[in-house]
Every structure is written in structure tokens, then in C-alpha cells.
A and B are shown apart, each in its own frame.
Chain A
Amino acid sequence: MKYALLIYEDEAFYGPDKSGSKIEEIVGKHMAFAQELGARRLGGAGLKSTPSATTIRTSAGKKTVHDGPFAEAREQLGGFYLIEAADLDEAIAIAKKVPVLQDGAIEIRPLLQP
């Protein structure tokens, strides 16, 4: 089974352009974690802050381009992993080890094509 682990955190914690000591700390942890995952990690990336986001909305067949993320929320999608796991229990065990520096959430989503 393939799963996406979506990392939601309050991005304000990392500063306006995600630079500085906190981001260095978390990136270091992610690199160590990716190493630990080895072949079970199929992909993944950290994302720049939502002010850099552009959203294309389709409404009644019409596409419009907007500044910012799709929805305003207290926690934003800040990065993701694509992993291979035997089942949900293994995916949960991996997701529990995803490094976080603050309150937040990891959403586990099975991929449409397992």
C-alpha cells in the first residue's frame, strides 16, 4: 500500500519565508527521518509558505487564477511524504515518527492506486 503523509502545522512558527534556526532544525530532522525510512520513502518535499501559493479554481467549467491557498486555516499543508507501508498500522507507526516542532497534524491518505 502507498500512502501520502500530509504535514499540517501553523507555518507562522517558521517565520514569513521559512528561514532561520527553526527551519534548519526541522529540515535536519526530516533528513535524518528520510534516511531512516530508506526504501519505504517513495518521495516527498517541504513546501514554501502559503503566501507563495496560487490556486486555480474551476467553477462551472470556468478556470480562474487566485492568489493564496484554497482554504484559509489555522494549520497549513507544509510538506508531505509518499511512503510504502504494509497496512494502516505500519503507516500510523511511520506517521507518528514524522518530526514536528510544534502542535500540528499528520494526515494519512492512501493513494488511489495502491
Chain B
Amino acid sequence: MNGSAIERVFRAASGRITAALVARFRDLSLAEDAFSESCVRALSAWQETGVPDDPAAWLYRVASRVAVDMLRRQRTRRQFVPDPPPPDPTAEEVMIDDRHVIPDERLRLIFICCHPAVAPDARAALTLRLICGLTVSEISRAFLIDEATLAQRLVRAKRKIADAAVPFELPAPEYWSERLEAMLSTLEVAYSKAHEDAAGLTRHAGFAAEMLHLSTMLVDLMPDEGEAHALAALLHYAEARRPARTDARGMMVPLSLQDPALWHRELIAAADAFLVQAARLAPESARTLQAKLQACWCTRANLSEPAPWGCVRDVYDQLLRVRDDAIVRLNRVVAVAELDGADVALAELDTLDDKGLAQFGPYHAVRADLLARTGRADEARAEYQVVLALDPPPAERQWLIQRLGELSAKLQ
């Protein structure tokens, strides 16, 4: 096995091993350090003996011993005696398959990482670090933050979890739905943040794959939670459309103009399957409905087929019943414009309370488009200037500048 194959083994094993160590030793940093140390030891040991049949079980056993040693050293340093850790695996345990050796505690660890008492900007990063085994440098690239800053945030988050005694248990039934929502929205926001800039395709490719993997893992760990299926569906649909989100020059391509031939059919099929379960388990959930919206689009086979605006508007109507806010209404207006005309849509848009929308670029972009389509070109240009001043992501900026250019050309 070459170096990168071994790296893959480490990464694939990291979440399960770290989670099992956390559950056993109740210490995030200890678990993380012990796992890293077991990887270091594996690199030299495996060179001589070859890769063991069950590398994950090997790593887990070594990491457990390392953790026990680390605890002993800490104990002598601190002069006080914490609860003794559970015993080392027995000889029989060594013989059996790693699934039995390593208890699956990943869900517990994900809930710890995404606890609402952990700083919001550290939750997803901590999850990706501990569950997916991403390096700090990979995560910092996906979130566009400085590596040292991220490392600092992770240290602070781990210290907070220890100091404030965030429980190392699954949330009790009375906190379950609140905590589940906090966890799922953390991951959803982390994904969309990385997804926001359509131009960042290569930079986020590995990160996106890990997010898909994580969302699938959540479904496997909580097969009865409709919200988990809905999140997996949403992420898979979004990822499926990624190749069509920008053109060759890196300019944003609006959904209705994206070429379905470029979409990943396999990811769409996976998303469809998640959506079926989400619709069965959580039919009223806003997240399920958002996945349905994506499904409307993903049924389109090619650009000559009409865009599914009717389906889109219907789902927005359903969504309004569970979540009536300005953003949902704004999105619905886009469908209305296609179905009932720009005049009707503009009238509807102008009934929205725009206080919260004033700083929201997409609101001004929609308004600019509707003004242009109703022949109010000067006002449209002013709206485009407003969007551009709000500093949209690069791919969107390019598209907006092009629209503005077309508008000016028409005026002359």
C-alpha cells in the first residue's frame, strides 16, 4: 500500500475511532491526539509488517493504549485521580471484526460538535475535523479563513466543551428535536457557505464530497429521522447541479438556463431516494419542501423541455404554509414572473416588507430583472448598481455586470 492509500485508510477510519475514543475517555483533545499518534505509529509499524487485515481495529487498539498512557501522564502531573478508563480490549476482541471492536459513537460526537453552546463558526469545522478527518488546512480553504484562526477556533471550542461540561451523551428525548435541528442546520449552513461561490468549484470539490458523505452517514445513523433524509436530499441535489452552475468563463448560470446534460445523474438518483424517505417521514418539514423544489428542477432532461415553474410555484405555496418569510415569498415571485408575467410579479414583490431585504442582494437582483422586463430600464439599472454594491460572489457579479451591460446596450 502506498502513502496516499494509507492516508485514505486513516481518513476513512478517523471518524469512527475518534468518536469511540471520545465516548470512552470523554475528552475531545485526548481522542484527537491519541488517534493522530496511532497513525504515526501505523506508518512505521506497517512498513515492516505490512498493513494488517483490519487496519481500523489496529488503529483503534493502539489509539486506546496511547490514550490510556496520556491519561496516566496527565494524572501524575495534575495529582488527582479521574475515573479509571474502561479496560483495554481483551484477546477475544482482538480476533473479531472491527465493527464489533469499535463501537459506533459517531452520532454522539456529531451532536457534541454541533451543540448550540459551541461557537457557531466552530461547529461544522469541528465536525469535519473529528468525524470526517479533514485537516485544518483543508477546512480553512473550504471556509476561506486563515488556517491559524481556524486552529484557534477549534482549540477554543474543544476547551469550551470540556469546561462547560457539554454532555457526552445523545440529547435526551426532551431536547432531541431542538438539538437535531441545531445540528442539521449547522451542516446545512456550512455546505451552503462553501456552495455560495459558484466559481469555487475546484477548491470545494473535496469538501463537498465530505459533506455528502456526512449527510449520508446521518441518514444511516438516524434512519427514522425525516429531517436527516431531507438534508441528504438537499445536499445531493445541490451537488448534482454544481457542474452547470457556471459557464466556461466562470460566470453564474441561472437555474432555468443550466444545461441538465451537465448534471450528475447518479447524485440526482441518490437525492430522489432520500427525498422519498423525507416525504414519507417528514412531509410537512420546510427542509423536505426545499428538497422538493430541487426535485422539480432535476426532472428536467434538457433545455428544450419547458422549465418547471408550475411545480416550483406549487412547492413554494406549500412552503409558505410552514415557513412564511420574505425570502420564501421573494423566491416565489420569480416563479410568478414566469407564469403570470413580470407586471404581476413586480406588484407582488413590492408588497413585501423590504426592511430585512434591503441588504439582501438577490432581492435587488430579482427586482432589477422585473423592472427591466416591464420596460423600466433606468430603475432596473439603479437596482443592478445596488446589488453590485452589496459585493456579490465573483460568479454572480460577472453575470450581473453582463445583464447591466445588455440593458445599457438596449437603451442606446
Contact = CB atoms under 8 A, between A and B. Distances in A.
A86 B117 contact: no
Nearest to A108: B164
B164 A89 contact: no
A89 B163 CA distance: 13
A110 interface: yes
Contacts of A110: 163-165
B175 A114 contact: no
B117 A92 contact: yes
B276 interface: no
B167 interface: yes
A114 B115 CA distance: 21
B163 A86 contact: no
A82 B37 CA distance: 40
Interface in B108-159: 115, 117
B175 A88 contact: no
Interface in B163-180: 163-167, 169, 171-172, 174-175
B175 A86 contact: no
Interface in B72-119: 115, 117
A1 B167 CA distance: 11
Contact of B175 (A89, A91, A108): A89
B183 to A, nearest CB: 14
A68 B117 CA distance: 31
Contacts, number: 26
Contacts of B115: 88
Nearest to B116: A92
Nearest to A2: B165
A50 B171 CA distance: 39
Nearest to A110: B164
B165 A1 contact: yes
A88 B171 contact: no
Interface in A79-114: 86-89, 91-93, 108, 110, 114
B172 A88 contact: no
A40 to B, nearest CB: 15
Interface string B326-362: 0000000000000000000000000000000000000
A86 B167 contact: yes
In the complex, which range does the number of interface residues on chain B fall in?
10 to 19
Contacts of A89: 166-167, 171-172, 175
A114 B82 CA distance: 13
B231 to A, nearest CB: 23
Nearest to B115: A88
Contacts of B165: 1, 87-88, 91, 110, 114
A86 B163 CA distance: 13
Interface string A30-41: 000000000000
Interface string B211-233: 00000000000000000000000
B387 to A, nearest CB: 34
A88 B116 CA distance: 11
Contacts of B171: 89
A18 B407 CA distance: 64
A76 B293 CA distance: 47
Contacts of A92: 117
Contacts of A114: 165
Contacts of A108: 164
Nearest to A1: B165
A84 to B, nearest CB: 12
A93 B175 contact: yes
Interface in A9-65: none
A87 B167 contact: yes
B109 to A, nearest CB: 15
Contacts of A91: 165
A1 B174 CA distance: 21
Contacts of B172: 89
Interface of B: 115, 117, 163-167, 169, 171-172, 174-175
Given A87-B166, A93-B175, 15 more contacts: A1-B165, A86-B167, A87-B167, A87-B169, A88-B115, A88-B164, A88-B165, A88-B166, A89-B167, A89-B171, A91-B165, A92-B117, A110-B163, A110-B164, A110-B165
10 contacts: A86-B167, A87-B165, A88-B115, A88-B117, A89-B166, A89-B171, A89-B175, A108-B164, A110-B165, A114-B165
**4 interchain residue pairs of minimum CB distance:** A87-B167, A1-B165, A87-B165, A88-B164
Interface of A: 1, 86-89, 91-93, 108, 110, 114
